[in-house]
Copies of this chain bind each other. A is one copy, B any other.
Amino acid sequence: MSKADYQSSQLYKIRHSLSHVMAQAVLEMFPTGKIAIGPPIEDGFYYDFDLPRPLTPDDLTNLEKRMRNIVKQKHTFHRRELSAAEAKELFADQPYKIELIEGLEAGGVDEYGEPTDEPPVISTYKHDTFEDLCKGPHVDHLGQINPNAFKLLKTAGAYWRGDEKRQQLQRIYGTAWENPENLQTYLHRLAEAEKRDHRRLGKELDLFSTEADMLGGGLVLWHPKGGLMRHLAEEFCRREHLAKGYDLVYSPHIGKSTLWETSGHLDFYQDSMYAPLDIEGQAYYLKPMNCPFHILMYKDRLRSYRDLPIRMAEWGTVYRFERSGVLHGLLRVRGFTQDDAHHFVQPDKMPEEIDFVLNFCLHILRSFGFADFQAYLSTRPEGDKAVGDPAQWHDAEKALEAALQRAEIPYDIDPGGGAFYGPKIDLKINDALGREWQLSTIQFDFNLPERFDMTYIGEDGQPHRPYMVHRALLGSMERFFGVLIEHYAGAFPVWLSPVQAVLIPIADRHGSYCERVAERLTAAGLRVEVDTGSERMGNKIRLAQQQKIPYMLVVGDKEQAANQVSVRLRSGEDLGPQDIAAFEKMALETVKNKT
C-alpha cells in the first residue's frame, strides 16, 4: 500500500483513534500527566507522555483494559475548529500542546510540529471526555474498532521533538488491526522477526559486533565467523564478476577536496559527508562514494569505442554521516562496503547493457536464495532540477523498463522520483517473513560524465560522451548480511555456513575416529569441527542446533564399526546412519548447488 493509500484507509483511522483513546486512558491513570503527540505509524500507533513515574509492563496491561472499556462505549468523534487563543485556553495545563499551538499559529508546521505548506488551521477531535489537538482523520465512532484487535506493545524513551537537548518523554507503542485474526498474524510475525533480529543472532552466532565502547557508532567489526561468511560471499561474487567481464579495481578511502568539488559531492552531498581532515594544508574527505575514483581511472588514458563497455567493480568501503539516533545494527551504519560497479557504455549499446546488468543482478541475488522480487522505476523529476538531455532520460527510462519487462520482474513506476542525475531501478526482495528490503540499484548518471568531461573516440574518430551507470547488487555487505541473517534466521545455506558439520562422539573412545572423519571431510573442502567437549551428546546436539550448524554427525560404536556417521539436521530431522562417502557427496552437492 502506498503512503497516500494508507493515510486514507480505515486502518489508519482506527490507529489514529486508538492513540487518542490511549491518551485518554493514560490521563485517567495519571491525571497530572502531560501529553505530547500521538500519530498512527506503520502497523500501529504511539503517543508520547511526560509522566510522574516510569511505566511498567503491568501499567500497559491496565491501560489496555481501560482502552477496551472506552472503545466498547462506542463514543463518537467530534471535530471543531478553534482560534489560537481558544486552543491555548483549552490546553492551558498541557505545555507541549501549547508549544504546538504556537507553532500552528506561526505557520509552516503541522500539529505534530512537522514542516507543512498547508494553511494553519487549528482543530481538535473530541470523543467522550477527551479532546485533543488534531487534524484527523478518525473513525466516525469507536464502534468501528474491534476491542480485541489492538494491543499495547512496549514503551521506549523519546525526546520531545526528537531533540536530545529537550525533555525525555515516555512513548507507548501499540498495534491495531481490523480484526483479531489480523492482530494475531501480526503478533506472530513480530515474534518471528524478534527471533530473527540480526543483532541478537549476530551476538549468539558470534558473527559481528557494533557496540564496543571504544569503536564508535555505526562501525562494524566482522568477527571470525561473520568475516568468513563475508569472504565466501565476496569470493563468489568476485569470481562471477570476472567471469562476466567486469574489471576489479581498488581505490583509496580518502580523496582531495578538488575531487569532490569536481564531482559535485561537496555541493549536493556534503550533509552526508564527514568533516575534512587536513594533510599538508590540503583538505581530504572520507569517500561517501567510489564513483569519482573510477572516473579518474577511466580518464587515465584515451578511450576508444573498442574499449567499451568498461565495467569497473569494487568492494569499496564508504563512509556516510548518520545521526547516532538512527544507527541500527548492520542495517543502518556509518561505514559500509558497497559491491559497487560503474558501467561506461556507448549510448546505442545501452539497452543491452541494462539487460545484462539486471540479469546479472538477479543471478547474484538468486544465488543467495532470494527469489521474490519487486522493482521500482523512478523517472525524471519535474521542472529544471534534472540535469541532462530529456531525450536521453527518455531512452534511459525506456531501457530500464524494457529490461524489467524482459526479466519478468513486477514493477511500479515512481513518476518524477529519479535523482536529479538520472532515472533508476531499485530492486527489492521479499524475505522469509514477507518483509520488503531494498538491496540493489541500477542508476543512470548524466551528471558525472559531464562534470569530469569524460569522452571516448567513436567509430567516426570524434570524441563522444559515454553513458554511465552506477549499480550495486547486494547493496552493501553490511546491510545485505543484516537481511541475510533475518531471512534465514541464522540457519544459512550450507555453502555460507561458517561451520558446515560437527562430529559428535558419543563417548571418548569415538574421538579418534571422529578426528579421522573430520580430516577426510576437511580435505574434501568442507568446514568441519569435532566437539570433544565433556558435555553429554544431547547437550552437544542442542549446542550445534543453537549454532545453526547444518549437519550434526553423531558417532557411537555402531557408526564407528560400519564406517558411518548418523546424520542429524539443524531442523531436528534425523537422517539416520550414512556411509562417510555418501554424506560427503551429499554435502558437497548441497554446497555446489547453493541450496
Q: With an 8 A cutoff between CB atoms, is A186 at the interface?
A: no
A293 to B212 CA separation, bound complex (whole angstroms): 10
Q: Are A221 and B254 in contact (CB under 8 A)?
A: no
Q: Are B296 and A254 in contact (CB under 8 A)?
A: no
Q: With an 8 A cutoff between CB atoms, is A40 at the interface?
A: no
Mask, A424-460, CB within 8 Å of B = 1, is 0000000000000000000000000000000000000
A404 to B292 CA separation, bound complex (whole angstroms): 47
- Minimal Cβ-Cβ distance residue in B for A224: B247
List of B residues within 8 angstroms of A301 by Cβ: 206
Q: Are B222 and A262 in contact (CB under 8 A)?
A: no
Q: With an 8 A cutoff between CB atoms, is A323 at the interface?
A: yes
Q: Are A221 and B293 in contact (CB under 8 A)?
A: yes
List of B residues within 8 angstroms of A251 by Cβ: 221-222
A337 to B324 CA separation, bound complex (whole angstroms): 29
A251 to B219 CA separation, bound complex (whole angstroms): 8
List of B residues within 8 angstroms of A228 by Cβ: 242, 247-248
**Known contacts A238-B231, A254-B319: A249-B277 contact under CB 8 Å:** no
Contact of A219 among B227, B254, B334, B337 (CB under 8 A): B254
- Minimal Cβ-Cβ distance residue in B for A219: B252
Q: With an 8 A cutoff between CB atoms, is A352 at the interface?
A: no
A194 to B227 CA separation, bound complex (whole angstroms): 41
Mask, A263-294, CB within 8 Å of B = 1, is 00000000000111111101010100000110
Q: Are A280 and B223 in contact (CB under 8 A)?
A: no
List of B residues within 8 angstroms of A570 by Cβ: none
A293 to B213 CA separation, bound complex (whole angstroms): 12
Q: With an 8 A cutoff between CB atoms, is A220 at the interface?
A: yes
Interface residues of A in 301-334 (CB under 8 A from B): 301, 312, 317, 319, 321, 323-324, 334
List of B residues within 8 angstroms of A249 by Cβ: 221-224, 227
Q: How far is the CB of A498 from chain B (nearest CB, A)?
A: 10
Contact of A296 among B221, B258, B284, B292 (CB under 8 A): B221
- Minimal Cβ-Cβ distance residue in B for A321: B279
Mask, A223-262, CB within 8 Å of B = 1, is 1100110110001001000100001111111111011001
Q: With an 8 A cutoff between CB atoms, is A216 at the interface?
A: yes
List of B residues within 8 angstroms of A337 by Cβ: 250
A222 to B296 CA separation, bound complex (whole angstroms): 11
Q: How far is the CB of A130 from chain B (nearest CB, A)?
A: 39
Q: With an 8 A cutoff between CB atoms, is A371 at the interface?
A: no
Interface residues of A in 176-226 (CB under 8 A from B): 206, 209, 212-216, 219-224
Q: How far is the CB of A296 from chain B (nearest CB, A)?
A: 5
- Minimal Cβ-Cβ distance residue in B for A206: B301
Contact of A214 among B214, B219, B258 (CB under 8 A): B258
Q: With an 8 A cutoff between CB atoms, is A423 at the interface?
A: no
Q: Are B215 and A296 in contact (CB under 8 A)?
A: yes
Q: Which of A206, A220, A251, A323 has the most CB of B within 10 A?
A: A251
Q: With an 8 A cutoff between CB atoms, is A38 at the interface?
A: no
Interface residues of A in 484-530 (CB under 8 A from B): none
- Minimal Cβ-Cβ distance residue in B for A243: B522
Q: Are A213 and B250 in contact (CB under 8 A)?
A: no
A259 to B251 CA separation, bound complex (whole angstroms): 26
Q: Are B255 and A215 in contact (CB under 8 A)?
A: yes
List of B residues within 8 angstroms of A230 by Cβ: 248, 250
Q: Which of A252, A276, A312 has the most CB of B within 10 A?
A: A252
List of B residues within 8 angstroms of A209 by Cβ: 296-297, 300
- Minimal Cβ-Cβ distance residue in B for A306: B533
Q: Are A224 and B312 in contact (CB under 8 A)?
A: yes
Q: Are A284 and B248 in contact (CB under 8 A)?
A: no
Q: Are A220 and B252 in contact (CB under 8 A)?
A: yes
Interface residues of A in 322-374 (CB under 8 A from B): 323-324, 334-335, 337
Mask, A396-440, CB within 8 Å of B = 1, is 000000000000000000000000000000000000000000000
Q: Are B214 and A231 in contact (CB under 8 A)?
A: no
Q: Are B250 and A286 in contact (CB under 8 A)?
A: no
Q: How far is the CB of A122 from chain B (nearest CB, A)?
A: 36
Q: Are A212 and B300 in contact (CB under 8 A)?
A: yes
Q: How far is the CB of A163 from chain B (nearest CB, A)?
A: 14
A282 to B282 CA separation, bound complex (whole angstroms): 22
- Minimal Cβ-Cβ distance residue in B for A477: B250
Q: How far is the CB of A449 from chain B (nearest CB, A)?
A: 15
Q: How far is the CB of A420 from chain B (nearest CB, A)?
A: 22
Q: Are B280 and A324 in contact (CB under 8 A)?
A: yes
Q: Are B221 and A256 in contact (CB under 8 A)?
A: no
**Known contacts A254-B335, A312-B224, A323-B280: A212-B247 contact under CB 8 Å:** no
Closest 9 CB pairs of A and B: A224-B247, A222-B250, A216-B256, A219-B252, A214-B259, A227-B249, A227-B248, A212-B296, A252-B335
23 pairs of residues in contact across A and B, judged by CB atoms under 8 Å: A212-B296, A213-B258, A214-B256, A216-B279, A216-B282, A216-B284, A220-B250, A221-B250, A222-B251, A223-B249, A223-B297, A223-B300, A224-B248, A227-B248, A228-B247, A230-B248, A252-B317, A254-B335, A274-B279, A274-B284, A277-B277, A279-B334, A280-B324
